[in-house]
Amino acid sequence: MEDFDERYRAVSSRDERFDGMFFTAVRTTRIYCRPSCPATTPLARNVEFHRTAAAAEAAGFRACRRCRPDSSPGSPEWDVRADAVGRAVRLVRDGVVEREGVPGLAQRLGYSERHLNRMITQELGVGPLALAQSQRVRTARLLVETTDMPMSDVAFAAGFASVRQFNDAFRRAYDRSPREMRRRGAGGSTAGECLRLRLALRRPFYADALGGFLADHAVPGLEVGEGRRFARVLSLPHGTAVAELVLHDDHVACRVQLQDPRDLTAAVARLRHLLDLDADPVAIDRALGGEEGGAGDGGASDGGASDGGAGDLGALVEERPGLRVPGTVDAFETAVRTVVGQQVSVSGARTVIGRLVAASGEPVELPLAQELGLTHAFPTASALAAVDPETLPMPRSRGRTVVALARAVDVGDLVLDGGVDREAVSRALLAVPGIGPWTVGYVRMRGLGDPDVLLETDLVLRRILDARGTTDADVRRWAPWRSYAGMHLWTEHLARQALTTTRGSRA
């Protein structure tokens, strides 16, 4: 959505679907807002739009205290885009600039610092350092409002180099000091205790299918799930963490306990990826339902979903609006789990991976882990690379593939993070003995967040497509949302299977 009039119409209608996709800055008040801000709509001549909160802040605007634009969902654009800017934004969200600086970000992407700065600034109005600075402020605000951590600890946990830098950036963003913000906030937790967060999302959000998927695939000791509640251990740059998630229709409630508070930014980014919270469900549903346009055309359909042919998923979209594609908190973990799960039932894969986690994963002793019955983090690439494949609880050929995969990641021949080139990763994965197109597609879809993967070599999905009479032209029409199309088809198939089983048990 680049057109001023389109954006202004979204602001005038207070359309929450556009929250996080752009920000409205008002020149007369020097405040920037979400498009859905309930305040009186400003005159068009006083408005300018920014693609990121960082760009609005760099232009001298502070965040609205009413709509809190800094806590809106992230733009879905960065998860969809496979170019260098999209990859850079994903790495910034994961805290790479805090840990490695802009030089580290540039090195990961294979560009010079100067060229990377130029590319990002040209598109977003600010460079990667400003994007990271804006994210630091948001992390700091979360710690200020939800904990009683000393301000010096908050500053360094959020990634600031000094308390003075923290105070100055905080006041620029919110027009108040951290201490003033804390007096108005809840506070209560101290360092090492659980933080309670509210993760924003775009509606509709079909939480039942997502929660059910995660619960069905939960690995003993690493994860636990039931209904809309899911918890797991996270391996983060500075230590482990435990997160408990409760999925609601309009947000996700999160309890997280960190070994090191510096990992809060990375933890939130990875949990959002796991739950696909930055997706634009209206645009996806409209495209798969056979309707032209998406969220950017300014309105929802005035008719019901159709079912006009093999390629029309309208009936499925109507049944499950806002269906998400489950992501991951670690793409290496997803790759290993995918290899182990080849030609094995879901319950069988859970059992095998659970043994792998218990044998090679790092024990976790955080109080929240003990409360939830979680015991281990997923094994690191280094730990699995050192394992004798003959000792793994799986067929020997598969064990050798797991160890080869781990060794490739451990020595840096294969990089699996949000900043990778998906096509290059596909080629590198195929070079690992025992990994084929199905595994590569699944890792791209869940591990790397590729929205346009249809696993046509999957036997179940192939039967579904054939039974519907789906043609190649139908599949092409689902682009760039073929991952979501596949998820709709799988979910419907599983629902029908469950219904058949229930009826059979009652007979």
Per-residue pLDDT tens over the stretch 81-133:
889 999 999 999 999 999 999 999 999 999 999 999 999 999 999 999 999 99
**pLDDT at residue 2 is higher than 80:** no
Output 306 or 184, whichever has higher pLDDT.
184
pLDDT at 8: 96
Tell me whether the omega of the peptide bond preceding residue 150 falls within 30 degrees of 0, making it cis. Answer: no
Q: What are the backbone dihedrals phi and psi of residue 327, each rounded to the nearest 5 degrees, phi first?
A: -100, -140
Q: Distance (Å, rounded) from C-alpha 280 to C-alpha 260?
A: 32
Whether the CB-CB separation of 50 and 39 falls below 8 Å is answered with no
Give me the mean pLDDT over the 228-238 stretch.
98
Q: Is the peptide bond before 220 cis (omega within 30 degrees of 0)?
A: no
Do the beta carbons of residue 415 and residue 439 sit within 8 Å?
no
pLDDT at 295: 41
Band (pLDDT 50/70/90 cuts) for residue 463 is: very high
Q: Given this model, what pLDDT does residue 296 score?
A: 40
| pLDDT for residue 286 is more than 80 | yes
- pLDDT given at position 290: 80
Q: Which of 15, 19, 33, 70 is catalytic?
A: 33
Whether 275 has a pLDDT exceeding 50, the answer reads: yes
Report CA-CA distances (Å) from 323 to 183, 238, 268, 311, 327.
Answer: 39, 33, 21, 18, 13
Length of the chain: 507
Name the band, by pLDDT with cuts 50, 70 and 90, for residue 270. very high
The CA distance from 196 to 276, in Å, is 20
- pLDDT (0 to 100) of residue 188: 55
Strand partners, 32: 25, 63
Quick: pLDDT tens for 22-33.
999 999 999 999
How far apart, in Å, do the first and last CA atoms of the chain sit? 54
pTM attached to this predicted model: 0.91
Q: Which of 260, 421, 458, 474 is catalytic?
A: 458
CB 320 within 8 A of CB 487: no
Active site residue 33: yes
Nearest Cα to Cα of residue 96 among 419, 331, 396: 419
Task: For residues 32 and 96, give the distance between their C-alpha atoms in angstroms, rounded to a whole number.
Answer: 26
Q: Which amino acid is at 24?
A: T
Instruction: Note whether 26 and 32 are within 8 A (CB).
Output: yes
User: Burial level of 302, CB count in 10 A (0-12/13-18/19+)?
Assistant: exposed
Q: Phi-psi region for residue 20, left (φ > 0), alpha (ψ -120 to 50) or beta? A: left
Residue pLDDT, tens place only, 38-87: 999 999 999 999 999 999 999 999 999 999 998 899 999 988 888 999 99
pLDDT at 307: 44
Question: Does 458 participate in catalysis according to the annotation?
Answer: yes
pLDDT of residue 203: 95
- What domains can be seen in the chain, in order of their start residue? 4-71 (3.40.10.10), 78-146+149-184 (1.10.10.60), 195-278+326-447 (1.10.340.30), 281-321+457-506 (no CATH)
User: Over 50: is that where the pLDDT of 378 sits?
Assistant: yes
